[in-house]
Amino acid sequence: MSKKYRSLLSATGLMLALIQPAMAAEKTEVLHWWTTEAQSKAVKVFADAFNAAGGQWVDNAIVNGDVAKPTGINRIVGGNPPTVMMMNAGKQFGELADAGLLRNLDDVGSAENWKQVLPADVLEAVSRDGHIYAVPVNLQTPNWLWYNRALFEKFKVQEPKTWEEFFAAADTFKAGGVIALAFGAQPWQQHQLFNGVLAGAGGRELYLSIFRDKNPEATETPEFKRVAEVYAKIRSYTDPGTPNRSFNEAASMVITGKAAMHIMGDWEKGEFSAAGWVAGKDYGCVLGLGEQNFLMDSNVFIMPKASSEAASQSQALMAKIMLDKDVQVNFNNLKGSMPVRNDVDTSGLDACSKIGLEVLKDPSKQLAGPDWLAGADMLNSLADVVVQYWATPSQTPEEFAQKYAAVLEQFQD
């Protein structure tokens, strides 16, 4: 008899334990997908600072962004949102804001003077109809060229600054039996590389007329033809094992000396650091081959509308903490990206981040990333054309330009 009661009691206890998180409103659930070693250390900076300021951080990390994002969106739509959720800047959260599901952060923004300390493009990317709906926490660019310094010294190759110099260097490595460019031909990597070429070899004007103006005629210019040719030429400097290779496998080819160079975003530094490499000593970095543009991309956190006053207050606290000067430096050093504020102390940053910040100071080199200018549907439809071009050596630049223009045609507003 007593046994029966005990099991009943423990069952009730279990149920209470399950219900409890929903009742305790002061707990702040943060949904994100930063799970690699470097990333989770970086997230811990936020958590520690938040807890020290009197909040209670409840971590909800989901391994894959493509899983985490729909999970969070479903919960927001279903009325049981996480208190804070990670997102990409740009058009992605726009629809949620339009549906009135996100908290307006104008109050925190004006109290913390965000208009002065954040770059205008960044502020634009987290706003919708003039209201701020997300907290940007870092800046990164996908068009870095990383290289193995030991190999560069062995082959007496100078750091390339333009695409011509890049191909000259690549020829030297190819002749010497080293894979010139490590590459993983997954759609996102191919599209990212192409956009880097577009901004570097094609230039600012062309880039903006494609992603911002969605102008199909831009593909008929000589600049676009050059972009298509450069992109196709890169193909011949990669090895046959590229299909479906992940970016960290490609990074490890540079680390082991199998390949000399790799074009990838700031997060590459996480792989290098994990291998014990130091920026400027073991590896070098060049930002934006050709026209040096910083293709701004940012991770942001959105705050779904909360029902309780307490949750709303902890959201305001979270927004304040994430953009704190010291938190910004510590977080971005661990994450491998750059602080989004323009008034932080830069002495603690690594050699490559310093280059990036130097470039960022010049507004004519700041360029909004594709995600800030166009929706996911259009970008991925363009990516389809780009990956097809890469996989089909027989396709001419003219045919490619036609297909590219056809997609732009489809997305005229």
| Contacting positions for another protein (CB under 8 A) | 66, 69-70, 73, 77, 92, 95-96, 99, 185-187, 239-244, 375-377, 380-381, 384, 387-388, 390-392, 410
Residue keyed to tokens 């919708």:
128
Q: How far is the CB of 33 from another protein (least distance, A)?
A: 13
Q: How far is the CB of 5 from another protein (least distance, A)?
A: 29
The backbone torsions φ and ψ at residue 299, rounded to the nearest 5 degrees and listed phi first, read -90, 135
Q: How far is the CB of 248 from another protein (least distance, A)?
A: 14
Q: Which is nearer to another protein, 236 or 308 (CB)?
A: 236
Q: How far is the CB of 220 from another protein (least distance, A)?
A: 22
Q: Which is nearer to another protein, 289 or 379 (CB)?
A: 379
Q: Which residues pair with 147 in a beta bridge?
A: 261, 284
Q: Which is nearer to another protein, 203 or 375 (CB)?
A: 375
Contact 408, 217 (CB under 8 A): no
* Amino acid at the residue 71: T
Tokens encoding 135 = 């907290």
The backbone torsions φ and ψ at residue 288, rounded to the nearest 5 degrees and listed phi first, read 65, 85
Q: How far is the CB of 329 from another protein (least distance, A)?
A: 32
Contact 195, 203 (CB under 8 A): no
Contact 192, 142 (CB under 8 A): yes
DSSP state of 344: S
Tokens encoding 360 = 């960022």
Q: How far is CA 261 from the centre of its chain?
A: 20
Q: Which is nearer to another protein, 36 or 186 (CB)?
A: 186
Tokens encoding 34 = 């930063």
Q: Which of 81, 403, 64, 95 is nearest to 224 (CA)?
A: 403
Q: Which is nearer to another protein, 13 or 243 (CB)?
A: 243
Q: Which is nearer to another protein, 243 or 348 (CB)?
A: 243
Helix (H) or strand (E) holding 394: none
The backbone torsions φ and ψ at residue 396, rounded to the nearest 5 degrees and listed phi first, read -85, 160
Residue keyed to tokens 């389809």:
384
* Amino acid at the residue 97: A
278 CB neighbour count, 10 Å cutoff? 11
Contact 261, 136 (CB under 8 A): no
Contact 312, 112 (CB under 8 A): no
99 burial (CB, 10 Å; 0-12 / 13-18 / 19+) is exposed
Q: Which is nearer to another protein, 197 or 340 (CB)?
A: 197
Tokens encoding 65 = 């962004």
Q: Which is nearer to another protein, 11 or 99 (CB)?
A: 99
CA atoms in the 13 A half-sphere facing the CB of 101: 21
Q: How far is the CB of 371 from another protein (least distance, A)?
A: 12
Q: Which is nearer to another protein, 342 or 395 (CB)?
A: 395
Q: How far is the CB of 380 from another protein (least distance, A)?
A: 5
Q: Which is nearer to another protein, 88 or 138 (CB)?
A: 88
Q: How far is the CB of 102 from another protein (least distance, A)?
A: 12
Q: How far is the CB of 278 from another protein (least distance, A)?
A: 29
Q: How far is the CB of 364 from another protein (least distance, A)?
A: 32
176 CB neighbour count, 10 Å cutoff? 13
